[in-house]
A and B are shown apart, each in its own frame.
Chain A
Amino acid sequence: MILNQYLAKAQGVGVNVELLSLSDLNLRLAALVGELQAKSVALPLVGWPEPLLRTVKTEVEKCGAAIVSPMRRMDGGYEWNRSVLGSANLGITFCGAFVAETGSLAFPAGPGLGTLASLLPETHLALSYAKDCRPDLGGYLAEFGADIPSRLTFVTGPSRTGDIEASMTTCVHGPGRVLHWIISEGWRWVINNPLTSVFTLC
């Protein structure tokens, strides 16, 4: 099963993957924002499935954290407030495609999608639906055909370097911590699998 392959790969590169049901999301979000003592959260508001965005936004606001998003301009385009974005210590993005072969999260650019939220804060949380797992990179790229976005970014684990004595250290320029919460209401088919049930339980 490709979700298993994704879990093994992503955990292998240091992504903290969890399988959740939508009803658990509120509690887990509150715990995370509390743990990080996040004062401001970078949260692009475009590209989300509506119920998921509503849950995330409400919960972050309930925790008292400010939300930083690309703002709508008069001409219909979007704009980041960069100085505010720089101070966010948690970035939350929706990830509409993740790749089992490499353990990567895919982020196409587009108006309001705000991929910088996955780069500037020290912690990045990506939320996905289980059905959005893709088997391999080639297949995912082929989905775009000739219609490639201006920037297509793949994130595979935290920001890291081995440039000093080849000792692997995280959090160089991008996030030192990458969390990926995969949401599904129908977990039964996953729970039946011994490998994934471990992740489901914790």
Chain B
Amino acid sequence: MNPIAPNFRKASRDAVRNSQVIAAVRKTANLLSEMMALAVANTPDFEALRDYGRARKLEISGDLEKYAQSFAANAQAAGAVVHRARDAAEAARLAIKIAADNGAKTAVKGKSMTAEEVELNEALEAAGITVTETDLGEFIIQLAKEKPSHIMAPAIHRSRAQVAELFTDKLGTPPDLGVEALVAAARKDLREKFLTADMGITGGNFAIADTGSIVLVSNEGNIRMTTTLPRIHLAVVGIDKIIPEMADMPKFLALLARSACGQTISSYMSIVTGPRRTGEEEGPEQLHIILLDNGRSRIAKGPYREILHCLHCGACLSHCPVYRTVGGHAYQATYPGPMGSVISPLISGLEIYADLPNACTLCGRCAEVCPVCVPLPDYLRELRSDVKKPPFMMKLAAFGANTPSLYRLGMIVMRRMLKKGGMGLMAPALKEWTVCREPPKPQEGESFRDWWRTRSHCK
């Protein structure tokens, strides 16, 4: 997938030096975190909603295939054409075929991480189809020829001044425009494309098994245009997005909207059930849905099943101290941040993304904010031992720490060593750890164990 092997260590070192990017990421991540906190505080039953979300998702991930088949049958009954894609390459081939069969030359596209995962734009462009991203953030990074750096706020790493410069360069707008003028320029440029495009491409926030509907949310209105104006609508949806019933949707929506950017609901929500019906003046003549597996059925059977519960809200990214320090591009993966550090190695292979499970301080904030309680820090810790079996010295240390007599002896030896030669003696063994940290100073006075023994209740 990547021409150069991803190297998180190097990329993150470079990223932290780019203070402009880090400032932009922090600013937006802070704001998103604050908005989420406020929305959650205003929802008294939020914890009950989270429990419901997790319980329902456990049912779904326990039998993905059953729900996928039920969704496909009901969507077909509503007039949609449902395609199943085993992997990214098959999804891209299907999309190209759908475009070719219908003579589609231009496409407008709503933001979709699943489409990023299958590198749909690259595939369609290679087949001669012009794809225009219409979400403002995606539009900006498409002009800049970049990848999204946040699953919810793709252009989080760019400042207003940089966007103004980019628009002047690519769209010929006057220099140094304010945010409102930039938004107006994008509206003008994209409106014509919406009205003339042959095909509209979207992802899907939810796919509802019992009605065969795709649910799409957006604040800008670009998704409504994309799903209503072109004559073909193609939705690329991961099978993990399927929920059993329409009645589940308002609850998952409540979790998603609050966690993504502190809303009760997005400005627009479209529930799409089949193409345009007889007599209707709007909507596409054909609706194609590509249900993408790409490793999801395999993940559902393994120990990291709950990562498929992810609603793609982006809360774990905005709250992650590592993400906030290095930004999304350093991960060199479609999905960055905590959820990305779990899903990317599971989809593409641990050998490719071996660094990502280590891109974590195990602080636990991601699990605290996750709307469906995915145990992200546990998964990241377990993935670390999948990447590399713990070395012999670590096993020895673990054995020592678990045996009180050995631990006591070890501490006595350690204190002696530290008093004599400081950490210098240990330096070769700890150099990975001390490369960016100060080694601890030996404790002055009595040890903790000596102090504890003097407490009355221990006697």
Contact = CB atoms under 8 A, between A and B. Distances in A.
A78 B281 contact: yes
Contact of A119 (B27, B225, B283): B225
Interface string A115-155: 11001000000000000000011100110001011111111
A110 B183 contact: no
A140 to B, nearest CB: 9
A198 to B, nearest CB: 22
B191 interface: yes
Chain B CB count within 10 A is highest, among A79, A82, A150, A167, for A150
Contact of B136 (A9, A142, A161): A161
Contacts of B190: 173
Interface in A168-186: 169, 171-175
A109 interface: yes
Contacts of B261: 162
A155 B159 CA distance: 29
B305 to A, nearest CB: 28
A165 interface: yes
B328 to A, nearest CB: 14
B142 interface: no
SS class of chain A's interface: helix, strand, loop or mixed? loop
A35 interface: no
A31 B268 CA distance: 28
Number of contact residues on B: which range applies?
35 or more
A138 B247 contact: yes
B453 to A, nearest CB: 54
B275 A158 contact: no
Nearest to A76: B279
A163 B221 contact: no
30 contacts: A13-B263, A77-B278, A79-B281, A86-B195, A101-B264, A103-B264, A109-B283, A111-B279, A114-B282, A116-B229, A137-B250, A138-B251, A141-B247, A148-B211, A148-B273, A150-B283, A151-B272, A153-B224, A153-B268, A156-B267, A156-B268, A163-B140, A163-B154, A163-B155, A171-B183, A173-B134, A173-B221, A174-B224, A174-B267, A175-B221
Interface of B: 24, 27-28, 31-32, 78, 134-137, 140, 153-155, 158-160, 163, 179-180, 182-184, 186-187, 190-191, 194-195, 211, 213, 219-222, 224-225, 227-229, 246-247, 249-251, 253, 261, 263-283
